[in-house]
Amino acid sequence: MQAEITKEAIHRGLPVLNFNQRSVGEIFDFISLIARLVNQQEKGKQLLASYEAELQTIANSAAAFARRPRVFFEEWNDPLISGIQWVEELIEIAGGETIFPELRLGRKAKERVASPEQIIERNPDVIIASWCGMKVNKETICSRPGWDRISAIRHGHVYEILSSHILQPGPACLTDGVRELHRILAQAAG
């Protein structure tokens, strides 16, 4: 969708600055670039330092977990799309182990599709869902055929995080989103 908006703006002769950050590192690079564009480099450095410090504090807290819960992050429900790279990285910082690390580098959603059978087979301890623009239906997740065999379903570890907290590559995921992930994973880690 953003590609079409960008294309249209360019065709209309408007100046366009297009970003497509996919990792925590790319989010940091984006913030740094914006700070330079508005001639606020020092404030940008301070902001980035505060995000880095918070992520380190959360990682240090997660290091004390007795175990790292295995997590399936469901970015979309049909087809089942696993988490984008920055979400998967934040899950690891927050104390979890992602069940589809090989899919995280898929820059397009269709490159991160997982089958219900793959998810059953990898048996996550926690399912965290965030459907962009749509409320998560936990009952639907829990009632999928065969999913009653998944540890997360059996133990009631199915959660929703608002998409505005985790699926936007900017400050919210580096603050509210990672804090929510950490809170959820701390409960699941026992």
Query: For position 33, which CATH number holds?
Result: 3.40.50.1980
Dmax (CA) for the chain in angstroms is 56
Residue 122 makes CB contacts below 8 A (sequence gap 6+) with 70, 72, 99, 100
- Give pLDDT tens digits for 37-94: 999 999 999 999 999 999 999 999 999 999 999 999 999 999 999 999 999 999 999 9
Per-residue pLDDT at 18: 82
Per-residue pLDDT at 19: 83
Q: CA dist 115 to 77, 79, 80, 127, 164, Å?
A: 11, 8, 7, 14, 25
The strand pairing partners of 97, in sequence order, are 70
Whether 2 has a pLDDT exceeding 80, the answer reads no
- Give pLDDT tens digits for 97-153: 999 999 998 989 999 999 999 999 999 999 999 998 899 999 999 999 999 999 999
How many structural domains are present in the chain?
1
- The range of the structural domain enclosing residue 81 comes to 1-190
Phi, psi of 126 (to 5 degrees): -140, 140
Phi, psi of 123 (to 5 degrees): 45, 70
